A and B are shown apart, each in its own frame.
Chain A
Amino acid sequence: KQEVTQIPAALSVPEGENLVLNCSFTDSAIYNLQWFRQDPGKGLTSLLLIQSSQREQTSGRLNASLDKSSGRSTLYIAASQPGDSATYLCAPRGGGGTSYGKLTFGQGTILTVHP
């Protein structure tokens, strides 16, 4: 059964800092991994999708890396802004067994960026 851990659980930083959010997963048999953003009480907004054959994916100030064999992904946020404050979730999509096709979510990293 896939298990996903996100570290740190919470992060509070001043505006302008570069950040790294970590995600680890136990089953490396995945099709892809998706990073989401969730504002309090709101839906999930997809940030980046990395295929299992890719090492990195970039969108604006966001860069996500994937090391499938070691079960790790990182989300790098450059020059953080107060508007980046949200919960960030990673979710690998299972490639076989009982997790086939399913997104398994971590608990998330709660990010607060102070002006």
Chain B
Amino acid sequence: EAQVTQNPRYLITVTGKKLTVTCSQNMNHEYMSWYRQDPGLGLRQIYYSMNVEVTDKGDVPEGYKVSRKEKRNFPLILESPSPNQTSLYFCASSLNRQGNTEAFFGQGTRLTVV
């Protein structure tokens, strides 16, 4: 079954404690991205990756890092989380970034930073 898997689904952490949210896809997709969803602001892109070792900033990259060492995995790293990073996070993947490509989303990670 084609899927995007995020872990954990729920996370409560304290300010400044480094954390990683994992994302894995089993469709051999090249293009992966991270979004955050906040009330009144909708979904906004944080970072994206066009392929292994190729990543770039989205609309709201401050406070986040990503890596793409393998094609299937695209972890989101918060080096020093702050309360304004409390949000619902989604990982997405698609075959590539253009043309006939459907985006698939993970189930989301609800992060609370206290």
Chain A positions near chain B (C-beta within 8 angstroms): 31-32, 34, 36, 41-46, 49, 51, 89, 91, 93, 95, 100-103, 105-108
Contacts and interface: CB of A to CB of B under 8 A. Distances in A.
B110 A89 contact: no
12 contacts: A32-B99, A34-B102, A34-B103, A43-B107, A46-B102, A46-B105, A95-B98, A101-B48, A101-B97, A102-B58, A103-B92, A106-B42
Contact of A105 (B42, B96, B98): B42
Interface string B49-75: 010000000100000000000000000
Contacts, number: 62
A41 B39 CA distance: 11
A34 B33 CA distance: 16
Q: How large is the interface on B (under 10, 10 to 19, 20 to 34, 35 or more residues)?
A: 20 to 34
Given A106-B42, A108-B42, A46 B99 contact: no
Interface string B35-47: 1000010111100
Contacts of A93: 97-98, 101, 103
A42 B110 CA distance: 10
B84 interface: no
B80 to A, nearest CB: 26
Given A100-B97, A101-B97, A102-B58, A49 B102 contact: yes
Given A103-B45, A108-B42, A32 B107 contact: no
B112 to A, nearest CB: 13
Contacts of A34: 102-103
Contact of B43 (A51, A89, A100, A101): A89
